[in-house]
Amino acid sequence: MKPILQNLVEMTGHRDHLRLEVSVLSTLLKLTGVIEVRALELFTDGGTPHVRPRTWVENGQLVSTDSEAATDPRREKLEHYPALRECITHQSDSALASPRKGRHVLWLPVWMHDKVHTCLEITQSRTFSAHKLEVLKGVFQVYQNYQSLLDYSERDALTGLFNRKTFDEQFSRYAMNGLAGGHPGAVTESLASEDGPPSGEPVQQWLAVVDIDHFKQVNDRFGHLYGDEVLILIANILRSSFRSHDRIFRFGGEEFVVLLRSTTLSTAHKVFNRFRLAVQEYAFPQVGQVTVSLGFVSTTRGSPVEILGQADQALYYAKEHGRNQVCFYDDLVASGQLASKMVANDDVELF
């Protein structure tokens, strides 16, 4: 019991979802009789549910990937895991199966916001005793509760999107690694997925700053209750307009940020404009029509504060020149409508 408690103390000391995942698998792997552990990511691709290993044991060590799930060659259809599929369909807390002699598998799905984002898979050579199941589920419950606390601290209370604190903590790492990190979650069909990259056009990462046009007038005319409803509905349109491995943040007020992963400039233009049109064409209760302005930039050049500052410049150019439009920073600089300038970390405060 003492080693388990020590591992639980270590596990709850992490402030990162992936490190917490590695820690709980390490704890489970040390239990007597456990021969293999994995964390499976569940996602939908082309309308079909899939799973792929996100953390697993390799050469005696736990390794993880945060690459895009939909392009992972190790992905499998969920139908290949019938016991797990039934467990999720019936919203059960666990599933057991013996796929072959000497292999007994326990799946523990992580339920958050009434969806399964990940699932822990534990394999033994012998059947699971009632006592062993009780211990495993106890460790798992601590893990799931702590995952929920981390998730709550990362999100905006009104919209459920990631908050500014989460952006500040993660964007430096994403900018340095080309947005290699992904967010585990159930994939919604993406507007971007309809467009294959044009031949020869490089795939990049993009940061967009979004602002609701004339939002102060909405609050002044209809009240903050309807203003909050507009924010919630805009957040819903954002979710449906981008992929699960893209990242969406609410910065506070009427400002949002989108990190768009692994696509071309022409596709980025299409996706951002589709989102803008989706907002324009949405009938907001009581308020009627609402529009947004958006500025975006590639994340491949400059420090995080420079990248964010350039997207902000493009946004405010859009707002000062008619609103309800998408502006790309490099196009504005190339046409002479914006002057490219260096931004120092200690002499600018964004937003």
| Active-site annotation, residues | 254
Q: Which residues pair with 252 in a beta bridge?
A: 255
Burial label, 227 (beta-carbon count in 10 A; 0-12, 13-18, 19+): buried
Q: What gap in Å lies between CA 260 and CA 274, rounded to an integer?
A: 14
Structure tokens at 298: 């590639």
Sheet holding 204-212, edge to edge: 247-252, 255-263, 204-212, 292-298, 326-328
Provide the residue type at 182 as one letter.
G
Burial label, 225 (beta-carbon count in 10 A; 0-12, 13-18, 19+): exposed
Q: What is the DSSP string of 219-285?
A: HHHH-HHHHHHHHHHHHHHHHHHS-TTSEEEEEETTEEEEEEEEE-HHHHHHHHHHHHHHHHT--BT
Tell whether the torsion through CA atoms of 174, 178, 180 and 182 is positive or negative: positive
Cβ-Cβ contacts under 8 Å for 162 (sequence gap 6 or more): 154, 155, 156, 247, 248, 249, 250
Tell me which H or E stretch contains 7.
helix 2-11
- Selection from 312, 308, 305, 309 nearest residue 345 by Cα: 305
Radius of gyration of the chain (CA): 23
207: Cα within 13 Å, side-chain hemisphere: 26
Q: Is 314 helix (H, G, I), strand (E, B) or coil?
A: helix
- Selection from 212, 285, 220, 206 nearest residue 251 by Cα: 212
Tell whether the torsion through CA atoms of 238, 149, 111 and 46 is positive or negative: positive
